[in-house]
Amino acid sequence: MHIKTALLVALCAIAVDSSLAQQPPGQKAAKAGGDRVCHEDAKKFCSDVRPGGGRIYNCLTSHNAELAPACRERLAAGKARWDEFVKACKGDADKYCKGIPPGAGRVLSCLKGRESDLTADCKAQFSRARSNTTVTQ
């Protein structure tokens, strides 16, 4: 698996897995609706899919035409955002994480561990990812 594919699967797994997380008691319904835009689609189309490794994301995208518009938009926005991250960090991943087997967030962990050595563009993407929770909710 290429680093770009592994990074995309990791981000999308985070985005979809967090949409499946249980709502804490007392959380406002409006916030829950915004944070869990793919929850119902995941239950409907992917209830028999074991989470992890991007399997739920792959399941959802295989049903793209049938997804609720908000879920389809969230997945597209997450992919676009991730493509920006990969574009900015691919060189750093190739330089610092060559030989790290992709999967389970290992390449991301590698990059995070070398954050002080990363290019300005890649550092900016890490900073943006920390401050923008939209992709991961």
Cα(95)–Cα(76) distance, integer angstroms: 28
When comparing pLDDT for 60 and 33, which is higher?
60
pTM above 0.85, yes or no: no
Average pLDDT of span 8-22? 44
Tokens encoding 54: 């991007």
- The values of phi and psi at residue 60, to 5°, are -60, -45
Q: Does the pLDDT at position 16 exceed 60?
A: no
Question: Is 42:56 a contact under the CB 8 Å cutoff?
Answer: yes
Closest by Cα among 65, 56, 66 to 14: 56
Q: Is residue 74 part of a domain?
A: yes
Q: Is residue 137 part of a domain?
A: no
Q: Is residue 136 part of a domain?
A: no
Q: At which residue do the structure tokens 């997804």 appear?
A: 67
| Number of domains within the chain | 1
Q: Is residue 64 part of a domain?
A: yes
- pLDDT (tens digit per residue) in 29-43: 333 345 588 999 999
Average pLDDT of span 104-127? 90
Tokens encoding 15: 């985005």
Give the pLDDT of residue 111.
92
pLDDT tier at 116 (50, 70, 90 boundaries)? very high
Domain that holds residue 93: 3-131
